[in-house]
Amino acid sequence: MISPVLFLFSCFLCHVAIAGRTCPRPADLPFATVTPLQAFYEPGEQIVYSCQPGYASRGGMRRFTCPLSGIWPVNTLKCIPRVCPFAGILPNGSVRYTTFEYPNTISFTCNSGFYLNGTKFAKCTEEGKWSPDLPVCAPVTCPSPPIPKFAVLSISKSSAGNSSFSGDNAHYGNTAVFKCLPHYAMFGNDTITCTEHGNWTKLPECREVKCPFPSRPNNGFVNYPAKEALYYKDKATYGCHEKYVLDGPQEVECSKFGNWSAEPSCKASCSVSVKKATVIFEGERVKIQEKFKNGMLHGQKVSFFCKNKEKKCSYTEDAQCIDGTLEIPKCFKEHSSLAFWKTDASDVKPC
Ligand SMILES: *[C@@H]1O[C@H](CO)[C@@H](O)[C@H](O)[C@H]1NC(C)=O
Ligand SMILES: *[C@@H]1O[C@H](CO)[C@@H](O)[C@H](O)[C@H]1NC(C)=O
Ligand SMILES: *[C@@H]1O[C@H](CO)[C@@H](O)[C@H](O)[C@H]1NC(C)=O
Ligand SMILES: *[C@@H]1O[C@H](CO)[C@@H](O)[C@H](O)[C@H]1NC(C)=O
Ligand SMILES: *[C@@H]1O[C@H](CO)[C@@H](O)[C@H](O)[C@H]1NC(C)=O
Ligand SMILES: *[C@@H]1O[C@H](CO)[C@@H](O)[C@H](O)[C@H]1NC(C)=O
């Protein structure tokens, strides 16, 4: 038995099917789904547009019924991406982004001296929230600086100014300067800096440095502190006996390499074998027999005049007293004092 109601209803459907046209598959709408999705719909059948996760519907109907005309009504519905909260500013850092809409990902970097507390990337989720949470740029800190053995902290300074960081934490760019204890020499840079990695640059080393006792120079003497040993920065002074000249500095210092900054010696002065000559000494013409009555000191230099016989002119050649030896230039001719008619080379016009 067919119920009269059902019969009537199916008759109605037959009528509509005959009288109306079918609707086509509905137009695609970006980021929306249609249920149910079919190739065609009988008039009276209903469809529902719903926005995909991450998109919100705006400006239109979501539910449509296939009309007898078989033409779907104009659909003004739009599915627009959800927008996450503005995240374009990261204090002490920067954000790379195109938009803050689902499903975009943005990325973060911090300025030097700051580190990312959080993740480098965040995604705008279907719910319109950032995931994971937005990071912050936190200032880099270094632990209180380690003190090298046998050293003391002489200055600690923040890069910003004079304020010293007090014990606990130092910031990026802060510096600390060390001094070695007496007798200790520093190897490495005396200054360490808090780096962007939150560690300090390489620590210097302080090593005890001894120098041997300096030996007495021949024809001279050396003075140094009367101690059981001589250390880094200790000093010794040298002197020479009469007629001897110090070759090197008067004062030497024990260097960080365990040797002396110099090893001065005493050099003998020269007796002048020439009896009479005009020479140039320190830019002036002098009589050698008068100027160097007591000999020439080690290192002193004079220029002798020589003659060029062909051209009848004069030129000079140097002679230097080196540890007791003064070599007279070969071209120099000493005249007997009786040969008064001869012109001295120093009186001849220069070549
Ligand atoms: C870090 O950011 C804060 C707030 O924007 C600002 O006042 C400060 O100057 C910044 N520090 C540096 C070193 O840029
Ligand atoms: C880093 O982030 C965590 C969690 O957000 C917070 O508890 C902590 O205080 C932050 N540290 C700094 C130095 O900002
Ligand atoms: C830094 O210098 C300012 C002005 O010269 C001074 O007032 C301040 O006390 C100094 N701070 C420290 C920690 O020395
Ligand atoms: C020591 O380090 C500081 C900064 O850390 C630098 O400016 C300086 O040139 C360095 N000195 C030497 C001798 O390397
Ligand atoms: C400091 O840390 C960085 C990064 O971890 C590392 O490359 C560097 O060698 C460290 N520097 C020192 C002096 O330990
Ligand atoms: C001291 O020793 C260092 C390292 O061995 C060397 O470079 C330097 O020349 C020496 N100095 C002297 C004055 O001998």
Note whether residue 293 is domain-resident: yes
Measure the CA–CA gap between 103 and 10, rounded to whole angstroms.
47
Last residue of a domain, one of 176, 208, 240: 208
Residue 128: give its domain's CATH number.
2.10.70.10
pLDDT tens digits for 18-60? Answer: 567 999 999 999 999 999 999 999 999 999 999 999 999 987 7
Interval 80-137: pLDDT, tens: 999 999 999 999 999 999 999 999 999 999 999 999 999 999 999 999 999 999 999 9
pLDDT tens per residue across span 331-340: 998 877 666 6
In a domain, 50, yes or no: yes
Q: What is the pLDDT of residue 11?
A: 45
Which ligand has the minimum distance to the alpha carbon of residue 171?
1
Distance from C-alpha of 303 to C-alpha of 319, rounded to nearest angstrom? 6
Among protein residues, the one whose CA lies closest to atom 9 of ligand 4: 189
Our count of domains for the chain comes to 5
> Does residue 175 sit in the same domain as residue 195?
yes
Report d(CA 98, CA 107) in Å as an integer.
Answer: 10
CA triplet 203, 205, 206: central angle to 5 degrees?
A: 140
Does residue 301 belong to any structural domain of this protein?
yes
Specify the pairing of strand 23-24 against strand 40-41. antiparallel
Return the pLDDT at 168.
60
Protein residue with least CA distance to atom 3, ligand 3: 162
Tell me, in angstroms, the distance from the centre of ligand 6 to residue 261's CA.
Answer: 8
At residue 218, does pLDDT exceed 80?
yes
Task: Look at residue 31 and tell me if it is in a domain.
Answer: yes
What is the atom index within ligand 6 of the atom nearest the CA of 261? Answer: 13
Check whether residue 36 and residue 62 sit in a common domain. yes
Polymer length of the chain: 351
Residue 100's pLDDT is what? 97
> Is 80 exceeded by the pLDDT of residue 236?
yes
Determine the average pLDDT of the residues in 299-328.
94
Segments forming the whole domain that contains residue 122: 93-139
Q: Is the pLDDT of residue 14 over 60?
A: no
Q: Which of 89, 92, 137, 172 to mutate to test the pocket of ligand 1 (most atoms within 8 A of CB)?
A: 92
CB 101 within 8 A of CB 127: no
What whole-number distance in Å separates Cα of residue 52 and Cα of residue 36? 15
Q: What is the pLDDT of residue 8?
A: 44
Region 217-232 average pLDDT: 96
The answer, yes or no, to whether any atom of ligand 1 lies below 6 A from the CB of 36, is no
Ligand that lies nearest to the alpha carbon of residue 135, given by its number in the listed order: 2
Residues 129, 156 within the same domain: no
Do 115 and 168 belong to one domain?
no
Render pLDDT for 130-141 as a digit per residue (tens, 0 to 9): 999 999 999 999
Tell whether 126 and 183 lie within a shared domain.
no
158 lines ligand 1 (CB under 6 A): no
Rounded mean pLDDT, 232-241: 97
Together in a domain, 313 and 324:
yes
For ligand 1, the distance from its centroid to the CA atom of residue 137, given in whole angstroms, is 10
Instruction: Please give the backbone phi and psi of residue 12, each rounded to the nearest 5 degrees, phi first.
Output: -60, -45
> How far is 155 from 179, CA to CA, in rounded Å?
9
